[in-house]
Structure 1
Amino acid sequence: MDDRSDAGPLVTVEVDAALRITGWNRRAARVFGIDAALAIGRPIAEVLPVAGDPAAWSGALSDVEEPQIRVLERPEGPLHFEAWSQVIRDGDGRVVGATLCGHDVTARQREARRLGVDSRLLAALLENLDLAVWAIDKQANFVLQRGKALQTAGLRPDHFAGQNYFDVYGDLENVEDIRRAIAGEATHALPAEVYGIHWLGWNLPTPSDAELSLISIALDVTASKRTELELRAKLELIERQQDVIRQLSTPIIEVWDGVLSLPIIGLVDTVRTAEIMDNLLQAVTRTRARFAILDLTGVEVVDTGTASHLIRMIQSIRLLGAEGILTGIHPTIAQTIVGLGIDLTHVAVFAKLRDALVYCLGKLRARAKV
């Protein structure tokens, strides 16, 4: 091996006809971590074993125009060695050895595998998910359009390739989002409706790219949007039905001129009691009622918070110039009121609605005579 080969940038290994190492330059020593003294004289298959193929070096004794990559077994992990071989012949033309020149391409192979995985992953996503991916260049011209969702929109791959984005989609509502993205402002999960399809779009600027200005990913969410709209309509219907049920379950009845009756039925919680109070106070004001009867015959249990609301309702009715009356109190409700220490001395309480009506009519007649 001459000085030029020994100092060259490539790994240079020389072998004889028996594939024993006869030359080993300094680059080989650095790449393989083996000094020339330990390598020369030994079979190359022993010094540089090829994973799973003991005869892999036999091809070195022939001229190879295209480089071959051999995966070498190394203590620190596989090493990908790319090398060309040139045979050495004697005066009679017989092969007496070969010179191998190459370099470590482990990092390149690793990157190639990663890119291959990335490519397969991207292809799987575009072929199987409802995605549309497109890219535009610095002049806002379409460079690429891919994705399964293009078929749903009635488009083929690269349908608008070479056309300007703003010529094609300049009238869309989200066109300003695209302008901002081209200017460098990324946008995420923006809704848009195009071709009758609902999309969520991610616009990703590429300022460091020499050719592209923007990559956009759009997800077809039409099915989920339709479900969302259906659920929203159902919720609105349920809310309207609940409002009707609340009104029907707490009807305010004007049983006589100046006398309102509110029969309360079913479970009464704090929220419902607040609604009842609001409706009753408005009815008292609207009808200028003198009496408001709260009939609790249909209610068996209330919590302490609800009981407090009922008493405050009576007090609020009094502030409007009317008299609040309680009827049909169950024993458990009476215990709850007593447990709260509420004084009902100044509140008219009757066992039955009829008794309360007699009381109200009597007071109305007495006022009429005065």
Structure 2
Amino acid sequence: MALTSSTATDTITPELAVWAMEVAGDGVWEFVDVDPADPLGESAPAKYSPRLQAMLAAEAQPTVGAWLAAIHPDDRLHVEAARKRQMAAPDGLVELEYRLSVAGETRWLHERSHARPATHPGRWRLLGVVRDVTEQRRAKERAQRDTDLMLQTQSAAQVGGWEIDLIANELYWTEETHRIHEVPPGFVPDLAQAINFYAPEHVPVISEAVARCQAGETFDVELDLITYTGRRINVHATGRPYYEDGKLTRIYGAFRDITDIKQRENDLREKLARIAQQDEAIRVLSTPIIQLWDDIITLPVVGALDPERATQIMDRLLDEVSKLGARFAILDLTGVDAIDTTTADQILRITRAVSLLGARGLLCGVQPGIAQTLTELGVDMAGLLVYRNLQEALRGCLGSLSRPSGR
């Protein structure tokens, strides 16, 4: 249905104008006799261009009511308010967006319309041009959703971004980067300010890193930063160059608050250090060295004796022999019921190692099971001093010390 017009030009007819809008993808409507008291009267006649009529699935004789029925229920009040504004301010251009729901499908329309006096006194003509902007709206909503998700992700991970436009010499921070710096709303940083946020001892480091990035290198640093409120935090900053047509135009990167991570790492290191201290204390307690007399020490072994513990015993015993200058080291096995052949061999190695330090290694308190294992080794035990118990071992050592050739 072609639209009529109260004015004409020498070059463009109303029909040609409507056709041009159709080609451009626009639809045209006209409400030809509108009552200002009821601008959306359902029985008022309306004219639609072919594209718009097809969109509305309107009958051959459309009315304003057909248009109103197609408007999404949530948008009707919005459209009605716009029509009333048109009546109150004739010739004013109204621009708005709303949804049409036809045949189960919802489409977004962008409208530009205005009111003119109609033929009948006190009545109005409304003329509007609409464009289907559904895909643009969907793209905008997707972009907004992606932006919102990115902002939420940045906030959750405490990761922000930054960019330096080398052409315009401008620095841009994302919202999360602003939050990490604890700057007030509306704060606009420049490169010098951004660098000076770092702790004084780290300013040269970040300055050099940014300079290298401006020369085409990437950087990855962990430094301390003093926020706008004076709080000291740990941050992880990365930067990389960006080229356009072979020319370096920007550098950008990520910026992350790692204070909590660093604190957890420090806590973990402290816990590991305490565990190591406790392990050392346990090791010392499990291999106690007792000085029985001048030049005489003993190491009583209690409980299971495996290769790992035998190694600990050797380390402890040799260390004490060297530190105290002992001449005799008694390994008391009274509290050990049995050992395997590997551990038995290590016991013999301990006594031989002691002799290399100029001392004499002795065994006492050997239980039957241990004696059997030592025998099964088939090694030469000649020269190895073995006593029944610690008392006899001490007496033997003292006797050797009392003789000039006691060593």
Regarding TM over 0.5, the answer is yes
The equivalent residue for 1:78 is 106
Q: 1:327 to 1:43 in 2, by over 3 A?
A: farther
Contact 2:75 2:99 in 1 (8 A): no
The equivalent residue for 2:255 is 217
Q: How many residues align?
A: 355
Q: Helix, strand or coil: the match of 2:204? A: coil
Aligned counterparts of 2:367 and 2:66: Cα–Cα separation in 1: 99
The equivalent residue for 2:235 is 200
The equivalent residue for 1:50 is 71
Matched ranges for 1:65-144 at <5 A = 65-73=93-101, 78-87=106-115, 90-92=118-120, 95=123, 98-113=126-141, 135-138=163-166, 141-143=170-172
Q: Percent identity of the aligned residues?
A: 22
User: What RMSD over aligned residues (CA atoms) do the two structures have, in Å?
Assistant: 5.1
Q: Helix, strand or coil: the match of 1:207? A: strand
1:171-227 per-position Cα deviation (integer Å, ceiling 9, x unaligned):
432323323444565555x32123372322333557379996435534161x65456
Q: 108-117 or 170-179: which moved more?
A: 108-117
1:14-70 per-position Cα deviation (integer Å, ceiling 9, x unaligned):
3555356533334775xx4x77xx654345665772222595666669566132211
Letter in 2 for 1:49: A
After TM superposition, the score normalised by the length of structure 2 is 0.62
Q: 237-246 or 102-111: which moved more?
A: 237-246
Aligned counterparts of 1:254 and 1:15: Cα–Cα separation in 2: 113
Of 309, 312, 330, 2:346 maps to 312
Aligned counterparts of 2:342 and 2:374: Cα–Cα separation in 1: 11
Contact 2:307 2:342 in 1 (8 A): no
The equivalent residue for 1:174 is 206
Contact 2:338 2:370 in 1 (8 A): no
Contact 2:223 2:236 in 1 (8 A): yes
Gaps of 5+ in 2: 3-14, 34-42
Shift of 1:84: 1.9
Contact 2:337 2:370 in 1 (8 A): no
Q: 1:116 to 1:208 in 2, by over 3 A?
A: farther
Of 3, 18, 21, 1:5 maps to 18
Contact 2:75 2:98 in 1 (8 A): no
Shift of 1:4: 3.6
Of 202, 222, 225, 1:191 maps to 222
Aligned counterparts of 1:351 and 1:217: Cα–Cα separation in 2: 72
Of 275, 286, 309, 2:312 maps to 275
Contact 1:204 1:215 in 2 (8 A): yes
After TM superposition, the score normalised by the length of structure 1 is 0.67
Aligned counterparts of 2:264 and 2:308: Cα–Cα separation in 1: 30
